[in-house]
Amino acid sequence: FTGLSIAVEEGDYIGCYFLAGYMERDNVGFSGMWFAQNEHIDPNDEADYTFYDGDAISLYGIGEGPA
């Protein structure tokens, strides 16, 4: 889809959330990824994250420089 606009700053992570199904991932040869179950997007949400060393999923985002 298109049209999502969110404020980000250097050091932020990009992530995704899905209700059901499976997301393909690689599990060897990458920098690793953090994983938390359920939805945690609201301000002040907290979660326990697990680090999967070597894993990766592919997400893409573009943006503009500082305003």
Token digits of residue 44: 């002040």
CB neighbours of 50 closer than 8 A, spacing ≥ 6? 34, 35, 36
- What is the arithmetic mean of pLDDT over 15-36? 88
pTM metric for this prediction: 0.61
List the one residue out of 63, 6, 59, 52 whose CA is nearest residue 29.
52
Token digits of residue 32: 């690793």
First and final C-alpha spacing in the chain: 24
Backbone angles phi, psi at 56, to 5 degrees: -160, 145
pLDDT above 70 (res 1): no
Token digits of residue 24: 């393909």
pLDDT digits over 23-33, tens only? 888 999 999 99
Instruction: Write down the pLDDT at residue 40.
Output: 82
